[in-house]
Structure 1
């Protein structure tokens, strides 16, 4: 009986020791502070395509930017998942449903949650809330809300030249 108990405990310890490493490799990437998974802000077109994580959107984007989707999150007609600038590289990444910031904000979060997560939230001249990205002073998050909930979440370079 004791030998069996030791074997079970040893097996449990093995499983427990393996679980955190497994969780790290299967954890869903977050949007920010530097990008989404292998796709990083500022990454050039060739390097971004080399990740195998994006696909070109026909007709997506206007000069000087091209529109792309994250393969894992196709956006459908007349939308893109990210813009790549000829000058700046990956410049804008749009969160898709299920993607969250490291602070836990995503599509469907309330603006109250956004304000709690980002106390330095400001409002742009065009009326949308935005904030600098914690741990990345070269980027910002923008939030488009409707009825008090986030409907669109954007991670972008401060110097992006793709969207207004």
Structure 2
């Protein structure tokens, strides 16, 4: 969300465990009555045949965890949570959090405050680019606004800065444009967040593309 539009404000590779298998050497049992231990004799028995030694070896190697070398496939990677906006927040940063809890996530810059009640706190995500990535705090609700810091951030439904209007309508059939912006596709609008009845996605669309993407609490009191 661009700062000028806000009323209150001026990203694992898997570890592969290699298990080394080893077999303990053993002493072969010899049938017969044991005799006294004596020095080596020139007439000592011949060593067991090679085929016998081979027969005594383990018939199968110990089971080891599957690896990329064994399977020929790379381990599956999931999109890091910090690159997904919604349904509850942005990674560890959640809507409704206190300022202290939000700061403890390590995802935001220092807080700036204005006033004593209402929408008094604002900061930015550390991954922000320019004036994007705003985070707003309200004394009534906690964290109420989290703005996508770049087009690398997507909603669980795949919408991001740069998505087309058609993609938005497919992902969110209940998308509603702001009445003040007229009936055209461009302008502000909101879509209910699947999986979070207390939140909306606020998007700005210009030239048929999403130019701003924000996750906000239904009860945010920062703007509009």
Shorter-chain TM range is 0.7 to 0.9
Does residue 140 in structure 1 map to residue 195 in structure 2? Answer: no
1:33 corresponds in structure 2 to 87
Candidates 111, 114, 118, aligned match of 2:165: 111
Contact 1:31 1:102 in 2 (8 A): yes
Scaled by the length of structure 2, the TM-score of the pair is 0.59
**2 CA distance for matches of 1:111 and 1:133?**
17
TM-score, with structure 1 as normaliser: 0.79
Q: Deviations over 1:37-86 (max 9, x none)?
A: 0100001111001111110365789963211111122534xx66211112
User: How has the CA–CA distance of structure 1 residues 140 and 109 changed in structure 2, closer, same or farther, with 3 Å as cutoff?
Assistant: same
Q: Residue 221 of structure 2 corresponds to which residue in structure 1? A: 161
Residues 13 and 112 of structure 1, relative CA distance in 2, 3 Å threshold: same
Q: Which residue of 2 aligns with 1:152?
A: 212
Runs (5+) with no aligned partner, structure 2:
1-65, 182-187
Distance 1:101 1:80, change over 3 A: closer
Counting only pairs closer than 5 Å after superposition, residues 11-90 of structure 1 correspond to structure 2 as: 11-12=67-68, 19-20=75-76, 23-24=77-78, 26=80, 28-56=82-110, 64-76=119-131, 81-90=134-143
| Unmatched runs of 5 consecutive residues or more in structure 1 | 1-9
Q: Which has the larger radius of gyration?
A: 2
Deviation digits for residues 92-134 of structure 1 (CA, Å, limit 9, x no counterpart): 0111221110111011111111011101111223332211100
Q: How far is the alpha carbon of 1:11 from its aligned partner? A: 4.1
Note if contact 2:86-2:156 (Cα within 8 Å) is conserved in structure 1.
yes
Whole-angstrom distance in 2 between the partners of 1:33 and 1:111: 20
Tell me the equivalent position of 2:48.
none
User: Quick check: which one's helix share is greater?
Assistant: 1
Structure 2 partner of 1:120: 174
